[in-house]
């Protein structure tokens, strides 16, 4: 297959590109490199530097004629979405619409949309949260990802565009940048490499579903050949507290640092983890990399490129 991966120079998208290339597919990466990195792109994939809202997007898809568009490109920063909701909407909502319209006009065969099960459900009515759980976004980012998925469904219903939506839990792994709006695992790893303790919001007993990036990439491979018209959670089904996460990483790093605790952030939910039985039944996917093993891989990856970096984020 010929596959276009938007955001394929980013953290998760680049692992998806790697998985597709290993499977023998022809991959084109569309990325504006605002947060993605050229060095993340597989050497057998072709990088096209372009923004989702670029007027040339349709002509590019028409000329290339991809079988599949895999849409990873997005503003993924919750705090930036709060500070600049207009920017978040332009990238995550208008960018998705522009891509959908280009895909429709170019007769793309299938559209894979990346959503956020860790954000769009909001405060849980029950745990673990399955795909039927009400969506109650508590941030502009969560709302924009939910809205994007609704547009994908609409294009499927109105224009016959086959689609699958993958709702990621909290993804971690190699290539996750510990700077800026990084995920908690990457920040913890950098703290440990620096020998400094992080400040954790709340009491640290809030739980999240941490899924390894390689497992997410494998879900994208399986979604090429099934699941049309369905949304799937992609997680482990297990909630891990932030305190436990830091303790595990401290053990891996051989350090015994005591974190500091700060106030709860507005909108933080107490517990969040996903039910993933649907994707196992339909596509045969389940998380394979255990948390400790995945954390070891992530820490080793960051340690290999070790650099002392001042950390300003709170967790």
Residue 223 DSSP symbol: G
For 11, list phi and psi in degrees, rounded to 5.
-55, -65
Residue 263's region, left for phi above 0, alpha for psi from -120 to 50, else beta, is beta
Catalytic positions: 141
H helix or E strand, kind and range, residue 79: helix 78-83
Angle 94-209-177 (CA atoms, 0-180°, nearest 5)? 60
Cα dist from 255 to 20, 240, 251, 297, whole Å: 37, 20, 6, 17
Angle 246-251-255 (CA atoms, 0-180°, nearest 5)? 85
The residue ranges of DSSP E strands in 72-128, in sequence order, are 110-116
Residue 175's region, left for phi above 0, alpha for psi from -120 to 50, else beta, is left
């Amino acid at each position: 297959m010929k596959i276009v991966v938007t955001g394929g120079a980013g953290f998760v998208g680049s692992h998806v590109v790697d998985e597709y290339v290993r499977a023998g597919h022809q991959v084109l990466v569309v990325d504006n490199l605002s947060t993605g990195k050229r060095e993340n792109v597989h050497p057998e994939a072709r990088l096209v530097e372009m923004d989702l809202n670029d007027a040339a997007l349709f002509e590019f898809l028409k000329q290339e004629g991809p079988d599949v568009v895999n849409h990873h490109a997005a503003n993924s920063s919750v705090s930036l979405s709060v500070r600049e909701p207009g920017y978040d909407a332009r990238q995550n909502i208008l960018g998705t619409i522009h891509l959908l319209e280009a895909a429709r006009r170019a007769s793309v065969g299938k559209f894979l949309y990346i959503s956020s099960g860790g954000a769009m459900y909001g405060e849980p009515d029950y745990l673990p949260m399955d795909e039927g759980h009400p969506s109650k976004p508590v941030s502009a980012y969560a709302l924009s990802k939910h809205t994007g998925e609704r547009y994908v469904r609409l294009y499927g219903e109105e224009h016959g565009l086959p689609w699958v939506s993958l709702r990621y839990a909290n993804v971690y792994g190699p290539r996750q940048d510990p700077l800026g709006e990084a995920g908690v695992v990457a920040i913890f790893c950098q703290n440990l490499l620096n020998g400094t303790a992080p400040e954790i919001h709340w009491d640290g007993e809030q739980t999240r579903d941490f899924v390894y990036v390689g497992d997410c990439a494998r879900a994208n491979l399986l979604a090429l050949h099934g699941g049309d018209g369905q949304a799937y959670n992609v997680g482990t089904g297990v909630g891990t507290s932030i305190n436990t996460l830091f303790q595990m990483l401290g053990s891996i790093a051989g350090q015994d640092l005591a974190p500091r605790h700060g106030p709860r952030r507005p909108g933080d939910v107490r517990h969040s983890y996903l039910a993933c039985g649907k994707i196992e039944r339909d596509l045969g996917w389940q998380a394979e990399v255990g948390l400790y093993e995945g954390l070891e891989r992530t820490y080793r990856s960051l340690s290999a490129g070790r650099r002392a970096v001042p950390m300003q984020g709170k967790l």
